[in-house]
Amino acid sequence: MIQGIPIEHFLIVSTIMFFIGVAGFIIRRNLITMLMAIELILNSVNINFVVFNRYLYPDQLQGQFFSLFIVGIAAAEASVAIALIINIYRKLQNIDVENVNEMMY
């Protein structure tokens, strides 16, 4: 609709981005990289919300507000996660997720 681009294209882009995030989360062992992967996932969801809002319900603003809130939550999550990462680094002198296994068994 907008400039003749169908909604599916947006959605496919965000889906690919989402699963790249998931793959990154599973593959990388550096905690900060995992955090970035999470940001990718959240961002792709944001795109979905906004696109749905624009294409399906252009007379309302729900999608935009949800994206807004997700950005807020992402900020909160990032700050707490980074605090945790710094603490872990202090304790273990590295930030590999494989070493964070004190809770096993």
Residue ranges in 85-104 that form contacts with another protein under rule CB under 8 A: 85-87, 89-90, 95, 97-98, 100-104
Residue ranges in 50-89 that form contacts with another protein under rule CB under 8 A: 50-51, 54-62, 64-65, 67-69, 71-80, 82-87, 89
Inter-residue contact 35 to 81 (CB < 8 Å): yes
Return the axis-axis angle of helices 7-27 and 31-56, rounded to nearest 10°: 170
Q: Is 43 in the site for another protein (CB under 8 A)?
A: yes
Residue 99 C-beta: closest distance to another protein, Å? 10
Q: Is 10 in the site for another protein (CB under 8 A)?
A: yes
Q: Is 46 in the site for another protein (CB under 8 A)?
A: yes
Is the backbone of residue 6 left (phi > 0), alpha (psi -120 to 50) or beta?
Answer: beta
Q: Is 45 in the site for another protein (CB under 8 A)?
A: no
Residue 51 C-beta: closest distance to another protein, Å? 7
Q: Give SS3 for 86.
A: helix
Alpha carbon 4 to its chain's center: 28
